[in-house]
Amino acid sequence: MSDGKASERTYLRDGPDLTGAPLHDKLLATWQDRPGFWGWAGSVDHKSIGRRYLVTAFVFLSLGGVLALLMRSQLASSNLHLLGPDRYNQIFTMHGTTMMFLFAVPVMDAMAIYLVPLMVGTRNLAFPRLNAFSWWMYVAGGSMLWIAFVLNVGPDAGWFSYVPLAGPEFSPGKRVDFWAQMVTFTEVAALAVAVSITATILKGRAPGMTLARTPLFVWAMLVVSLMVIFSMPAIALASAMLMADRMVGTQFFNSYEYGDSLLWQHMFWFFGHPEVYIIFLPATGFVSEIVQTFTGRQVFGHTAVVLSLVATGLLAFGLWVHHMFATGLPRMGYAFYTAASMAVSVPSGIQIFCWLATIWTGRPRFTLPMLWVVAFIVTFVLGGLTGVMLASVPVDLQVHDTFFVVAHFHYVLIGGAVFPLLGAITYWFPKFTGRMMNERVGRIAFWIAVPAFHLTFFPMHFLGIMGMPRRVYTYPGGMGWDTLNLVASIGAFVFAAGVVVFIGNVLWSARNGEPAGDDPWGAPGLEWATTSPPQPYNFPHQPVVLDATPLWNPERAVARGLRVEDREVVLTTVFEARPDLREPSPVPTLWPMIAAAATTVLFVSSIFAPWAVVIGSVPVAIALIAWFWPKDRSHEGEPVVD
Amino acid sequence: MASAPPTIQDFSLDLAPLETHAFGHRSLTWWGIVAFFLIEGTAFALAIAAYFFLMDKDSAWPPPPFAPPDLLAGTLFTILILLSEIPNTLVKWAAEAYDLPRVRRLLVFIGLIGAVLMVLRAFEFNSLNVLWHQNAYGSVVWMLLVLHTTHILTDWIDTLVLAALMFTPHGTEGRRFVDCSENAVYWRFVWLLWLPIYVLIYWLPRLVN
């Protein structure tokens, strides 16, 4: 129907007659960003945005890391007064907030934004302008929080901002408002990415890439994106309620006016617990990809791993109350949430056994990415075990709010997510930059960071059992805590040195590393089927997938017939990935940036005046309308009614 | 495992004959809209959960001396938004039949209905018999109404913009008809979500006491 008129006009299409250098020139002209700042600012290329997301996340990691070192300096010995209590409160709040909202979630988004379109074999993300918008929102929110902190208006009620402490009565001033509004920024950003990734995975997979043949990292990101969609509205709503209580006098959390402070905890953890898996599941995706490549075989129990990802995603929504064991719950609530918390260790266990079986039955090569995987398995299992301990109510009540909990979640978050991330960066670095990371320096970084991590956090288990509470700015001597704290502080500085060596290696290798070629590891995924780094159009011809490990298959196929003078992608069916439509892919534009700027004005000014929400929405609406209004008919064409 | 050089570079699949747009779940727009349904639906579900959580903590609902909201404005709003589904379904059918003149007329008509709905909504705020800062009951009732107002305002403006767009030459493109069809789906979501909120705001405070 639609091609009735279109057939009168002929479009240039790829195929055996248009391939190689002439095709490259045409596609480059179509897909390349304009040079200069405005070309960069208007880019909708997922690789450009993924790269800047990654760099931004590591900037925030560094900032959060400096705060950690400040805290460890303060706690190295008893009765130190490097930092006062007020500054310390801001620092531990900023550390947690930065690491969770501005590093952990965005860095996983960054990897997915860069890799998912390449792994599923398409030219760009679905909704690429939404993706561009998300980066601007993320940067604006993170910058706002850090500027406030530098101006001594940093949040100081902890990264989960419990009321009544964070409410209007006990936290006057604007500190908590900046925290709540930073949450709004990052939720908008994360939701935008989640929508983009979900649609790309469901509709943008290469012809032949059935769900069963979809790479495990892509599966992980599908589950994670759906988890973001179902969990982030909770914190967006909760932080709006908190701001309303603080700004316009609503009574949601005020028990004197029939409100309830536990409502905050429920809403926060309904988001906060899935958040942990939103950070952890992408990392399991990295591990699956790395293990597959370096054992030379498909991951053992591919289906079991996929089902484990889905099961973790579902169970993650049934555990939030285990963060609230100390609030006094009905006995049935204790039993249910203990059982659910223990149950979630089962799918994680299944994944670990599948990786071990893959290594056992494959031919493992212990390259640097694999070393990080081994460090991950060891560290994460330790963190997982303390998690099972904490699921038990009597244990939880004893160690609640102590350093035992601090040790536990650093084991699962650093061991479970950061170690695989560093492995993943080493693994995909050749694809990002066209060069290999220096193996020797990488091993040095590894052997500094991993033992130092355990030196830092293992003693915290004992500190917690010995009763040292978290979030105290100092402690008296004679408690028996001095030595273990000193060990942890030394470990923290050595760990930071390891991370610095890693980042130094990244910076050095990006310029001076050995040239990598398309597929330096002999990996099977589609992302290795194109050049390193990929061209703006990703693949010269649309790849067609014949099995789950396409590059290990001696037979390869590509499709013909996509338009080359306009941005066009193929859409496939959800389950079978049968080719279904050719849809135009949006061209670069500055409107997402302008819309983000207008939204930033709205969000920041609403911290100071509630009416800014109403007035500020006018420029936002104008920017969004201008964004969606079609500007150039030549890019779309193929009309049906004239 | 180093891969052997590929033996076949096969071009047998030709994508050129594929259509360039489609309605419903075949289009990317539909998936984007469904994702936003899920996001907004979750937000509303949690707001409703918060309503019940607060109601459960309270001995009376609304707490005395407050009276339940007056019914007139909210009920008129509900009747009109339910009736709006008739032109909404018609515009969806017209879009899927590529009937541009009919799409234009119906979009303008729905835009007018939206304007009347916005006026009724303003009266609703005036009939709640409680202010947002008086107690948690007032806060949560206002939250539900503000959330839904944001929702309907967004889709109303969206409909107006789409109506304007369909009067320009862009309106002749196949993909714009998909937009009209998906906008109609979105409108359904807006009124469907309203029904439980209507019950919570206007009827539950009457029924529990």
pLDDT of residue A638 exceeding 50, the answer is yes
User: Distance, in angstroms, between B81 CA and closest chain A CA?
Assistant: 23
Q: Is there a domain that residue B22 lies in?
A: no
pLDDT of residue A3 exceeding 80, the answer is no
Q: Which of residues 138-197 of A touch B (CB under 8 A)?
A: 191, 194-195
CB of B36 within 8 Å of a chain A CB? The answer is: yes
Contact A535, A124 (CB under 8 A): no
With contacts defined as CB-CB under 8 Å, which chain A residues touch B42? 229-230, 233-234
Q: Domain range spanning residue B176? A: 27-207
Look at A195 and B36 and tell me if their CB atoms are within 8 Å. yes
Q: Is there a domain that residue A539 lies in?
A: yes
User: Distance, in angstroms, between A91 CA and closest chain B CA?
Assistant: 31
Q: A46: closest CA among A511, A435, A537, A529?
A: A537
With contacts defined as CB-CB under 8 Å, which chain B residues touch A636? 173, 175
With contacts defined as CB-CB under 8 Å, which chain A residues touch B9? 556-558
Q: Is there a domain that residue A492 lies in?
A: no
Q: Please state whether beta strands A555-560 and A543-544 pair in parallel, antiparallel, or not at all (unpaired).
A: antiparallel
Q: Is there a domain that residue A551 lies in?
A: yes
User: Which residues, including other chains, have CB under 8 Å from residue A15's CB and lie 6 or more apart?
Assistant: A541, A560, A561, B11, B14
Residue for token pair 């649309």: A542
pLDDT of residue A518 exceeding 90, the answer is yes
CB of B149 within 8 Å of a chain A CB? The answer is: no
Q: A27: closest CA among A10, A9, A15?
A: A15
Q: Is there a domain that residue A292 lies in?
A: yes
The first and second tokens of residue A296, run together, are 């030379």
pLDDT at B2: 42
Residue for token pair 């350093």: A403
Q: Please give the tally of structural domains in chain A.
A: 1
Q: Is there a domain that residue B141 lies in?
A: yes
Look at B13 and A1 and tell me if their CB atoms are within 8 Å. no
State the CB neighbour count (10 A cutoff) for residue A303.
9
Segment A474-501 shows an average pLDDT of 97
pLDDT of residue A393 exceeding 50, the answer is yes
Q: How far is CA A351 from the centre of its chain?
A: 20
pLDDT at B59: 79
Q: Is there a domain that residue B5 lies in?
A: no
- CA dist A549 and A526 (Å) reads 8
With contacts defined as CB-CB under 8 Å, which chain A residues touch B63? 258
Q: Is there a domain that residue A525 lies in?
A: yes
pLDDT band for position A423 (50/70/90)? very high
Q: Is there a domain that residue B193 lies in?
A: yes
Query: The complex's ipTM?
Result: 0.94
pLDDT band for position A333 (50/70/90)? confident
pLDDT at A328: 84
pTM assigned to the model: 0.96
Segment A617-634 shows an average pLDDT of 89
Q: What is the DSSP string of A551-603?
A: GGSSEEEEEE--BSSS-EEEEE-TTT--EEEEEE-PPP-SHHHHHHHHHHHHH
The first and second tokens of residue B9, run together, are 């570079």
CB of B56 within 8 Å of a chain A CB? The answer is: no
Look at A582 and B134 and tell me if their CB atoms are within 8 Å. no
Question: Which among A15, A207, A555 is the nearest to B6, CB-wise?
Answer: A555
Residue for token pair 């963060």: A323
Q: Is there a domain that residue A405 lies in?
A: no
Q: Is there a domain that residue B145 lies in?
A: yes
Q: Is there a domain that residue B8 lies in?
A: no
pLDDT of residue A527 exceeding 90, the answer is yes
CB of A127 within 8 Å of a chain B CB? The answer is: yes
Question: Exposed/middle/buried for A169, CB within 10 Å: 0-12, 13-18, 19+?
Answer: middle
What CATH number has the domain bearing residue B73? 1.20.120.80
Q: A91: closest CA among A127, A67, A73, A69?
A: A67
Question: Which among B2, B9, B171 is the nearest to A558, CB-wise?
Answer: B9
User: What type of residue sits at position A197?
Assistant: I
Look at A233 and B43 and tell me if their CB atoms are within 8 Å. yes
pLDDT at A560: 94
Angstrom distances, CA of residue A587 to CA of A99, A562, A595, A598, A632: 33, 16, 16, 21, 10
Q: Is there a domain that residue B105 lies in?
A: yes
- CA dist A304 and A311 (Å) reads 10
Q: Is there a domain that residue B55 lies in?
A: yes
pLDDT of residue A407 exceeding 70, the answer is yes
pLDDT of residue A634 exceeding 90, the answer is no
What CATH number has the domain bearing residue A551? 1.20.210.10
- CA dist B71 and A398 (Å) reads 52
Regarding predicted confidence, which is higher, A372 or A319? A372
The first and second tokens of residue A153, run together, are 């208006």
With contacts defined as CB-CB under 8 Å, which chain B residues touch A542? 15
- DSSP conformation class of A469: B
Q: Please give the tally of structural domains in chain B.
A: 1
pLDDT at A330: 85
With contacts defined as CB-CB under 8 Å, which chain A residues touch B62? none
Look at A583 and B21 and tell me if their CB atoms are within 8 Å. yes
pLDDT at A187: 96
pLDDT at A10: 80
- CA dist A199 and A480 (Å) reads 55
Residue of B nearest to A240 (CA): B143
Segment A124-152 shows an average pLDDT of 98
Q: A529: closest CA among A20, A47, A118?
A: A118
Q: Is there a domain that residue A468 lies in?
A: no
Residue of B nearest to A634 (CA): B170
Phi, psi of A563 (to 5 degrees): -65, 140
Q: Which of residues 600-629 of A touch B (CB under 8 A)?
A: 621, 625, 628-629
- CA dist A458 and A488 (Å) reads 8
Optimal mutation site among A237, A267, A519, interface B, most CBs of chain B within 10 A: A237
Q: Is there a domain that residue A327 lies in?
A: yes
Q: Domain range spanning residue A279? A: 3-362+515-635
Optimal mutation site among A131, A209, A235, A251, interface B, most CBs of chain B within 10 A: A251
Q: Which residues of chain B have pLDDT under 50?
A: 1-7
Angstrom distances, CA of residue B39 to CA of A231, A243, A499: 9, 20, 36
- CA dist A520 and A532 (Å) reads 10
pLDDT at A332: 86
pLDDT at B68: 95
pLDDT at A642: 45
